[in-house]
Amino acid sequence: SQQGEEDPQALSIQEGENATMNCSYKTSINNLQWYRQNSGRGLVHLILIRSNEREKHSGRLRVTLDTSKKSSSLLITASRAADTASYFCAPNTGGFKTIFGAGTRLFVKA
Amino acid sequence: DTEVTQTPKHLVMGMTNKKSLKCEQHMGHRAMYWYKQKAKKPPELMFVYSYEKLSINESVPSRFSPECPNSSLLNLHLHALQPEDSALYLCASSPEREGLFPPETQYFGPGTRLLVL
């Protein structure tokens, strides 16, 4: 099974600053996804990047993928208090099984 | 309709009770999932149904019994649970294309917070 490992485990920043979270994994993947979870709620899909892509943007989100280093990063620009949440990466090697990383807990101070 | 609904939102049950969690989606997705999430931990996969057939059972104890009566519904029947089973139970669905592509985006419901006394 494939599990992402995220870094840092927790991150506290001021509103307006950028937040960067990193994810490393161990084997070849088909795609890697990032999800957000507000406290005690369901997960929300943020962005999917395929193994043949290097960078992807969605609004204030930028995801990069380096398959040679088996790593991905999620950048949130101009953060807002509403971005306070846990962020999980989910590398997918094919099939149904998604193993979520431990997550990064982001706290954005207003 | 682009959401996954789960009922109930909260559930308190004793160790001898029998209860069921319900999940519903009307997006035409043919893959549906149950996850268990403990506090400050990532979701852990329990079961996956594909085209109403059980595809993955992650060695879940038999006191959890999944059921997929049709392509829109997923149930999780609970019986003789233990206090350590207290957690947030999340349902998800994804637009699986059989045999062609790996399932991609999963759409999650808000979860059922379960407390076993």
Chain B: which residues have CB within 8 Å of chain A?
A: 4, 31, 33, 40-43, 45, 48, 50, 55-56, 88, 90, 92, 96, 102-111, 113
Tens-place pLDDT, residues A17-68:
999 999 999 988 888 999 999 987 899 999 999 999 999 999 999 999 999 9
* CA-based nearest residue to B78, from B46, B40, B51: B46
By DSSP bridging, strand B112-116 and strand B10-13 are parallel
Tell which of A43, A47, A104 to mutate to test the B interface (max B CBs under 10 Å).
A43
Question: SS3 of B114, please?
Answer: strand
Tokens of A44: 């929300």
Instruction: Tell me the mean pLDDT in the region B97-102.
Output: 56
Among the listed residues B110, B79, B89, B98, the one whose alpha carbon sits nearest the alpha carbon of residue B45: B89
CB A35 within 8 A of CB A80: no
Interchain CB distance below 8 Å, B107 and A45: yes
Q: What is the pLDDT of residue A40?
A: 79
Q: Which residue in chain A has the smallest CA separation from B49?
A: A96
Q: What is the pLDDT of residues B61-98, one digit of tens each?
A: 999 999 999 999 999 999 999 999 999 999 999 986 65
Tell me the DSSP string of B41-78. S--EEEEEEETTEEEEE-S--TTEEEEEEETTEEEEEE
CA distances (Å), origin A23, targets A61, A86, A91, A98, B45: 15, 13, 9, 15, 19
Say whether A65 sits in a helix, a strand or coil: strand
Q: Which residues contact A94 (CB under 8 A, 6 or more apart)?
A: A30, B102
Q: What would the pLDDT profile of A26-38 be if each residue is shown by its tens digit? A: 988 888 999 999 9
